[in-house]
Structure 1
Amino acid sequence: MTHPTRPSPDLQDLGLLSNRRSAALVTSLGEVVWYCPGRFDAPSLLARLLDAARGGSWAVDLPGAVHAGRRYLGDGGHLESVLRAGEGGKKLIISDFMPFGDDLPCGVCRVLSAAPQAYRLVLKAAPDYARRTVTLEQEGAAVQIDGQHWLYASHPARIEADAVVVEVPADEAAWAVLSDERLDHPDWATVTRWRETSLLNWQALTTHATYHGPYQEAARASLRALRLLTDHVGHATIAAPTTSLPEVLGGEKNWDYRYVWLRDAGMVVSALTRAGGDGSEGRAFLEFICAHATPQNGLPAPPFMTVDGGEPPEETELDLAGYAGSRPVQIGNGARGQLQLDAYGNVLLAAKLIYERFGTREHWGVIERMAEFLAEHWRDDDYGIWEERRKRPYVAGKVLAAVALDYIAEHSEDPAQAARWKAAAADARTWVEQHALDSEGAYTYVAGEEGVDVTAALYPVWGFCAPDSPEMLATMAALERDSCQDHLYWRHLADDDTQREGAFLAGTLWVAQYWVMRDPARARVILDAALAYANDLGLLPEMADPRTRLPLGNVPQTFVHAALVGVVVDLAEAERARDMA
């Protein structure tokens, strides 16, 4: 195994680029450390994020450079970073973007202002997760990379050993394009047109949902993250653009999140529909889910899928050093094919929101199939919201079945069907009341066992119970006592020592959403604690450890960003109602 020769990039230092087909991650000093050409879950070409020595990157080699700020241009995916170097700390401005639009090339573009001193752009590609040795071939002033990518630049690109180098003299502006296709002699005018067209395309897209209210900048950043991680063709939102960033630093809990989870549908559709827009983005995601919800192995749909609706690959371990030495590094996901009751419940919640907003029953055939499955199978043991490795009677799935069947029955045009679903919902509710309370009267994670999970904070949000019911008061007291530090909350796992991992930020935001219903001021305190782990661009990781102040897990995670939008929308409504009272 090759060991890193320099540290892994700080997760909070990463900015996200996307053309809504694939994604790249870039540091504040302008080094692209993760890039999967063509689509979000394609094999990486640059992966220093997961192997500092062999993974490959695209760096701006400006001696003495220091970070001096960065920002997104508008609500889209164009990132502008400022470096300072030389006498007087003169600026170099880097505008990074992936051209977004149907007639634009796929790849990563970099436009750089006149620099205070000479510098080099150094590209070290490592195809197929560094499983292949890169081949480089000079093509005039450009370089062909691995037979399927090309580097074009304003200044000649040349091969130096296993790298492609572009030298830029002092006081000269520059551009460079890492393209997935051979281009016809691009120049300054070409790159400028790509940039302007891409900005206009982002501007047109971002008018679909524009939130105004408390925490407006945080919500704006979260909506941007959701859009950057949504496929432009199928409108599917992936969980994260990365794989194998550890939930436990140096540990083995390293998963591939570059897929589309049914579970996320409820929150993502809610975020995109309720955030002050026309609802078309959320509607499109529900359409993707329903278009690809093919029955499989006795299930009405797989729990997650690829961005084109296919089956994710089996887990495969890669020979990479891992982020900060955290191994294994793997692609694919072993949770495929699991029964996850809450996944179907979340799709029904998403459909209910769309139906109420637009007065439709779109995709009813698929929604009906999922409802029938839940009505017949809510009693079954499943693998739960956290995709554990053994089936158990996880309570959240039963709760979601009860509320989702109740809601969706209102939209059935068959009285007998509606009555059957409502009866199943009532049975599930009774079962939870009889089997899912611990010795203190709190809702348990697994029926018949002790232990409370942060998911229970959503039960009143879903409408299962009142926020001040005795069961919820006991549940929240248990979470405060057993799963909270510095206003951040851990999840509960049946098979693992949860305290080894970081606090779960989506769960923390669910607790904030609960407190919106009882005490909005307290909700703000919890929300602020979660936002302390957002980086300067508003991007949030899966987890955060208040003991080390480190972010953990794949980043950015759409589950977290959707949860944040849900909290702030509810908070805005609650504070508006209070002010009008």
Structure 2
Amino acid sequence: MTDRPIADYAVIGDTCTTALIARDGSLDWLCWPKHDGPAVFLALLDHERGGSCRLALDGLSGTSRRYLPGTNILETTFVTATGRAVLTDFMPLHPHESVPEEGPDGHARGRVVRRLACVAGRVSGRWLLRPSFDYARAPTEAAADSETCLRFRGGGDAIRAACTVPLALSGGAAEGAFALTAGGRADLVILHGEGEGKGEEDAAEGMPGAVDASLAATRAYWEEWSGRCTYDGPYREAVLRSALTLKLLTHGPSGGIVAAATAGLPEAVPGNRNYDYRYVWMRDASFTVTAFVNLGYDREAAEFLRFLREADASRGRDLHLMYALKGPVPVEECLDHLRGWRGVGPVRIGNAAADQEQYDIYGEFLVALHGYLEAVEFDPPVKVNDHLPEALGHLTDHILRARHAPDHGLWEMRTEKRQSLHTKAMLWVGLDRAVQIARSDPKHRLADAATIERWERAAAEIRAEYHARGWNASRGAYTMAYGADELDAAVLRAVLFDAFDPDDPRVARTLERVGAELGAGDLVYRYRIDDGLEGAEATFTACAFWRVGCLALAGRNGEATALFERLLARGNDLGLFAEEIDAESGEQRGNVPQGFTHMAVINHAVRLAAARDGETPTDEPDCRAEESDALPA
């Protein structure tokens, strides 16, 4: 067996955790009971040692797949030499009778349901189930409660399996053979934990009639959630898929939002850029909040504020770059027993970047907070409102203290700290949004006039400084850090936040240089320097979408629209994106699905809609497949 392309994977989930399922129906990644918990299935990173739940059909000749409209329920159709079958995969998430003010908005059932139905002719094959607990570090013990209900234990964890066909144990694995005619089903339900009582009765609730009921309830939950999306533009399908994907990356019990569903997928092949993204990055989560707000999902934004309120009792005094869903971020370690995707190791869990200093996060959070407060017309729930003055004061104090300090920057390079241009720009953005929040406060309690004026003066000084010190005359561009020669695609993002004027000739020249030196057709590298890591990383997908926004700001809406549509076509067949794209092969790279990419899809679809509504395009769409590497002036 060879490792499947990253783009082969679909994602399902229940807002507690996610599972990745390949085009052929193999479930190759699942961490339980939460996103950053230990993996139970991880063939994604080692198909020999890592467990999976596979479907092996006899005489398979073709597959197709889709999500049921407006849901995260995956439907895969298999054509064999003798018939056709449909596999429906979902993690049950049932609606509450009434949604509470805070906390999960649905009831996650802690299970994966796999319903295989023969819809024409006859099909035969096998379910192949082999868990591998604690990232395949713990041995698996298996026992049968009945011929259709099994238990697996290992590493202090447990799962149960119930099936409509007999399951035969062989060591720590199980096989269930089936032969179906039209109308026949071979359903498999995998449940987390030991359960209550003997197991057979509890596990058996997942069988035929209950599967139908759970599927209907889960579909109702997702359709109701999708129905609240306020975007109704030409890219609604792509926007809604991105929104549904971001919702899967939320954690209902805590309100946190993880950066991606996976760990250890490489950003360079070969290379050693393999990190664990199953944590709450302040930057990624804050920008995801902005995407939710842009679509009318204010509750998700409020839930992230709840996460911060409960994770950071200092109310902004000690804001961190990164959080685990509960407790501290684990120490980074390498799983040397795993070969890694396509043999590219090391596989890392935990993340050492948690100890980095990245001061742009204060600006990021204030952008999200400002967007949320605007969406709720500056009348947030009491638990948010009560802490606003204190939080706003702490956040702005952080900015004022950090304004002259070097940091590790947006890209988390494991090198020495520098005076990062993007960081300085985001400090200005943070103060600018703080001023807007304070001036919009109907009760005038967030800051007095003298404080607001102090923020405005500091913002003006910061802006003047990074415009003067960030410009490199010999390069004819704003560069990555003060006194540096390297270009950085993060300047595109700073332009989108109004930290730079897109009509400024220096900014236009910078965008030209970034396109010429970092561009690869429609794609964009974040930088092209020696960062101390092995291998040449792929292009960073979000950077390409930022380019769309810069074109729209320049009034070049036709070019922006054409580029946006070409970028959307680079997602997989389900509209999912990883973190990066290899410029030569076009293959997805890095952890998947990546929240940073999907929020860029949403925010730029919204930006293009605003540009269409607010002004007349100055050019015509360019639908050619190729484009100059240079960003238009």
Quick one: which amino acid aligns to residue 472 of structure 1?
A: V
SS in 1 for 2:270: coil
Counterpart amino acid of residue 420 in structure 2: Y
Q: Which residue of 1 aligns with 2:401?
A: 376
Specify the alignment match of 1:47 in structure 2.
Answer: 42
Amino acid at match of 1:376: R
User: Could you tell me how far apart the structure 2 residues matched to 1:103 and 1:479 are?
Assistant: 47
Partner of 2:333: 316
Question: Contact (CA 8 Å) 2:226, 2:240: kept in 1 or not?
Answer: no
User: How do 1:69-468 residues align onto structure 2 when only pairs under 5 Å count?
Assistant: 69-87=64-82, 90-101=83-94, 105-114=109-118, 116-140=122-146, 141-146=148-153, 148-171=158-181, 172-181=184-193, 182=195, 183=202, 185-186=204-205, 187-275=207-295, 277=296, 279-294=298-313, 300-308=318-326, 310-318=327-335, 319-360=337-378, 362=385, 363-364=387-388, 365-389=390-414, 390-410=416-436, 411=438, 412-439=446-473, 440-468=475-503
Question: For residues 413 and 462 of structure 1, what CA distance do their matches in structure 2 show?
Answer: 23
CA contact (8 A) 1:295 1:302 kept: no
Distance change in 2, residues 1:104/1:552 (3 Å): closer
Alpha-carbon distance, 1:467 to partner: 1.0
Structure 2: gaps of 5 or more residues:
95-105, 196-201, 439-445, 619-633
- Cα deviation for residue 505 of structure 1 reads 0.4
Using the TM superposition, give the Cα deviation of residue 342 of structure 1 relative to its aligned residue in structure 2, in angstroms. 1.1
Which sits farther off after the overlay, 454-463 or 483-492?
A: 454-463
Worse-matched range after superposition: 65-74 or 320-329: 65-74
Question: Which stretch of the first structure deviates more once superposed, 55-64 or 520-529?
Answer: 520-529
Deviation at 1:185, TM superposition (A): 2.7
SS at match of 2:276: coil
2:499 paired with 1:487: no
What are structure 1's unaligned runs of at least 5 residues? 1-5
1:470-501 CA distance string (max 9 Å, x none): 22111111111100011110002664289811
Distance 1:494 1:382, change over 3 A: farther
What is the aligned-residue RMSD (CA, Å)?
2.1
Partner of 2:628: none
Q: 2:567 aligns with which of 496, 507, 530?
A: 530
Aligned-partner residue type, residue 240 of structure 1: A
Which amino acid letter does the alignment assign opposite residue 96 of structure 1? Answer: D
Alignment correspondent of 1:552: 589
Give secondary structure in 2 for the equivalent of 1:113.
strand
Report the counterpart of residue 470 of structure 1 in structure 2.
505
Please state whether the residue corresponding to 2:472 is helix, strand or coil: coil
TM-score in terms of structure 1 length: 0.94
Task: Describe the superposition over 1:94-116 as per-residue Cα deviations: whole angstroms up to 9, x where unpaired.
Answer: 00001113555312101111272
Deviation per residue, 1:371-412 (Å, 9 max, x gap): 111012111001100112221111111101112102212314
Kept after mapping to 1: 8 A contact 2:518/2:528: no
Count residues with an aligned counterpart.
571
CA contact (8 A) 1:28 1:67 kept: no
Task: Pick the aligned partner of 2:539 from 488, 498, 503.
Answer: 503
Report the CA distance shift for 1:403/1:184 in structure 2 as closer, same or farther (over 3 A).
closer
Q: Offset of 1:59 from its aligned partner?
A: 0.6
Runs of 4+ more than 4 Å apart: none
Tell whether the 8 Å contact from 2:359 to 2:399 is kept in structure 1 after alignment. Answer: yes
Match for residue 20 of structure 1?
Answer: 15
CA distance in 1, matches of 2:246, 2:228: 13
Provide the C-alpha distance between the structure 1 equivalents of 2:509 and 2:170, rounded to a whole number of angstroms: 65
Q: What do the CA deviations read for 1:11-69 (whole angstroms, capped 9, x no partner)?
A: 11100010110111001111001111210111111111000111111111102224431
Task: Give the CA deviation at 1:525.
Answer: 3.1
Q: 1:530 is aligned with what amino acid?
A: L
SS at structure 2 position matched to 1:146: strand
1:31 paired with 2:68, answer no
How far apart are the structure 2 equivalents of 1:299 and 1:392?
23
State which of 573, 578, 597 in structure 2 corresponds to 1:541: 578
- Superposed CA deviations along residues 445-478 of structure 1, whole A, max 9, x for unmatched, are 1111112211111223211222121221111111
Alignment correspondent of 1:3: none
CA 1:272–1:549 in 2, change beyond 3 Å: closer, same or farther?
A: same
| 1:269-310 Cα shifts (integer Å, max 9, x gaps) | 2211112x25222232233234423569x97211011123x3
Q: 1:494–1:314: structure 2 CA closer, same or farther, 3 Å change rule?
A: farther
Shift of 1:420: 2.0
| Matched position secondary structure for 2:407 | coil
Separation (CA, whole Å) in 2 of partners of 1:539 and 1:95: 18
Hey, what does 2:199 align to over in structure 1? none
For the 8 Å contact 2:317–2:391, the answer to whether it is kept is: no
Counterpart code for 1:489: V
What one-letter code is carried by the residue in structure 2 that aligns with 1:108?
A: V
In 1, Cα distance between equivalents of 2:286 and 2:238: 20
Pick aligned residue for 2:613 from 558, 576, 580: 576
Contact 1:381 1:394 in 2 (8 A): yes
